[in-house]
Amino acid sequence: MDYRLTPEQEEFRKGFAAWVEKNLPAGWDPSRFRSFHSSEEWARAYKIFQKKLSDAGYASMHYPKAYGGQGKSLMEEVIVLQTLASACMELRVPGMITHGMASPTILTCGNEEQKRKYLPRILDGTHIWCQGFSEPNAGSDVANVATRAVKKDGHYVLNGQKTWTSLAHMADYCILLVRTDTSGPKHRGLSYLLLDMNLPGVEVRPMKQMTGESEFNELFFDDVRVPLDMLVGQEGQGWQIAITTLMFERVLGDAVMGVVHEKNFQRLLDVARESKRSGRPVIEDSVFRQQLAQSYIEIMVLKYHGLRSLSRQLEMGVPGPEGSIGKLLWSEPNQRISEAAIGMQGLYGQLVAGSPWSIQEGFWQYVFLRSKGSTIEAGTSEIQRNIIGERCLGLPKDASRVARQK
Ligand SMILES: Cc1cc2nc3c(=O)[nH]c(=O)nc-3n(C[C@H](O)[C@H](O)[C@H](O)COP(=O)(O)OP(=O)(O)OC[C@H]3O[C@@H](n4cnc5c(N)ncnc54)[C@H](O)[C@@H]3O)c2cc1C
């Protein structure tokens, strides 16, 4: 396959990149790695920018016009996503789950009424969504979800707890996995709901991460009454729909993370050029040169794997299990690259954002700490390898999971 853009696509890319440059928030400096002082400010900036994207005809290029999209091809959407990832990744963060997981799931598995009601408000930036799958006893083993939804007086009444819910403190809605049936195999008793986060009985408690940020939360439900028309698919189909959500999450990661890593690699080269060890530039040190070359190799593998996944999606219409390969290719090298960057900084490697002597505003210290979670979120590295073994290589099913599903 020829991975170059056609002349028309290249023209579109240039036009869009010029539009982005003109429409970034006034006074916002994209070269800084953290610009927002509060999650309210961050969410507001995302919503305003997403509305501009939508008004200019750049929101969800491949979605049908009836739902607020542009009716164009997935290729145009990828050009938009990659341009945004390169120009203003930080502005996009509040919408990561919204666009990467909630909207493709509603588009693929929602009914007509749900698509017409929720998709346009996602695409025009009105609503931010979060993902409530994990619980204290249901992470890798997501079939273990215990949050109960019991049908009563024309509603599902929710009781239980979710955890690690990223962006719930900014979110208006949540894609939620709940238990509607306790008889039979665990994964058959799950259902998939759309939850309005402002309903009485929903409590969001932020959790502090080692980066110092509170990016994820605990969610508590106390007799929350959810209208029955918020069910996606049929009762008992939650497991299959949740897998669809996760496959979309991983593929979007492939398309965007290659661009993010390429950009970060330029920052890494700057560290290597500007840092000195015993009076000599780090870039002349043979150990660091090896690390730079290795990082570059891994980023190129991620980039070309992303293009291969994209060509499959263009051909088949849906993402495949190779999204798990992409997830490993961005999350594990991210840890190694940030370790290399901190090593290159020598004693300055200990200084985090806020110190006047920190290098690149403490960017690599943040990536180093945040990257530890990347091999856990969206499915741990071990789980990705199990998926690759089973679904790409045809190995027998993971025996521990088979036992737990009973
Ligand atoms: C930064 C971050 C953001 C997150 N955001 C969200 C979110 O928005 N929404 C949400 O629902 N969840 C979210 N999560 C939760 C995440 O999906 C879970 O943490 C993850 O699925 C692992 O589950 P667990 O933490 O319960 O660990 P466990 O499942 O208990 O795993 C513990 C260890 O055992 C290993 N293990 C488990 N089962 C197997 C097996 N069968 N074979 C081999 N090894 C195995 C794991 O790989 C891991 O090393 C987030 C997590 C992080 C770190």
What is the average per-residue pLDDT within 262-274? 95
pLDDT (tens digit per residue) in 314-327: 777 777 788 899 99
Element (H, E) at 231: strand 231-232
Q: Compute φ and ψ for 305, nearest 5 degrees.
A: -65, -40
pLDDT (tens digit per residue) in 134-158: 999 999 999 999 999 999 999 999 9
pLDDT at 65 over 90: yes
Confidence label for 402 from pLDDT (cuts 50, 70 and 90) = low
**Known active-site residue 249:** yes
| CB of 383 shorter than 6 A to ligand 1 | yes
Which segment of 174-178, 296-300, 317-321 scores lowest on mean pLDDT?
317-321
| CB of 218 shorter than 6 A to ligand 1 | no
Average pLDDT, the chain: 93
Closest protein CA for atom 43 of ligand 1:
382
* Helices and strands (H and E) in the chain: how many: 12, 10
- Bridge-based pairing of strands 216-227 and 202-207 is antiparallel
| CB of 389 shorter than 6 A to ligand 1 | no
| CB of 134 shorter than 6 A to ligand 1 | yes
Catalytic residue among 249, 377, 382, 390: 249
- Residue 350's pLDDT is 96
Closest protein CA for atom 20 of ligand 1:
139
Closest protein CA for atom 48 of ligand 1:
380
| CB of 207 shorter than 6 A to ligand 1 | no
Closest protein CA for atom 52 of ligand 1:
377
pLDDT (tens digit per residue) in 183-229: 989 999 999 999 999 999 999 999 999 999 999 999 999 999 999 99
| CB of 379 shorter than 6 A to ligand 1 | yes
CA 385 – ligand 1 centroid, Å: 13
In ligand 1, which atom is closest to the CA atom of 381?
47
The amino acid that residue 91 corresponds to is: L
CA 370 – ligand 1 centroid, Å: 15
Closest protein CA for atom 35 of ligand 1:
382
Mutate to test the pocket of ligand 1, among 129, 164, 208, 209 (most ligand atoms within 8 A of CB): 164
| CB of 398 shorter than 6 A to ligand 1 | yes
pLDDT (tens digit per residue) in 84-137: 999 999 999 999 999 999 999 999 999 999 999 999 999 999 999 999 999 999
Closest protein CA for atom 12 of ligand 1:
134
Q: Are 97 and 253 a contacting pair, CB within 8 Å? A: no
Q: Where are the alpha helices (DSSP H) in 4-154?
A: 7-23, 39-55, 74-92, 96-97, 103-109, 112-123
Closest protein CA for atom 37 of ligand 1:
140
| CB of 90 shorter than 6 A to ligand 1 | no
In ligand 1, which atom is closest to the CA atom of 378?
17
Residue with tokens 């400096």: 29
Q: State the Rg of the chain over Cα.
A: 22
Q: Compute φ and ψ for 146, nearest 5 degrees.
A: -115, -10
CA 352 – ligand 1 centroid, Å: 27
Q: In a 3-state reduction of DSSP, which class is residue 306?
A: helix
CA 186 – ligand 1 centroid, Å: 18
Confidence label for 239 from pLDDT (cuts 50, 70 and 90) = very high
CA 317 – ligand 1 centroid, Å: 28
| CB of 145 shorter than 6 A to ligand 1 | no
Q: Compute φ and ψ for 357, nearest 5 degrees.
A: -100, 0
- Residue 170's pLDDT is 97
pLDDT at 405 over 70: no
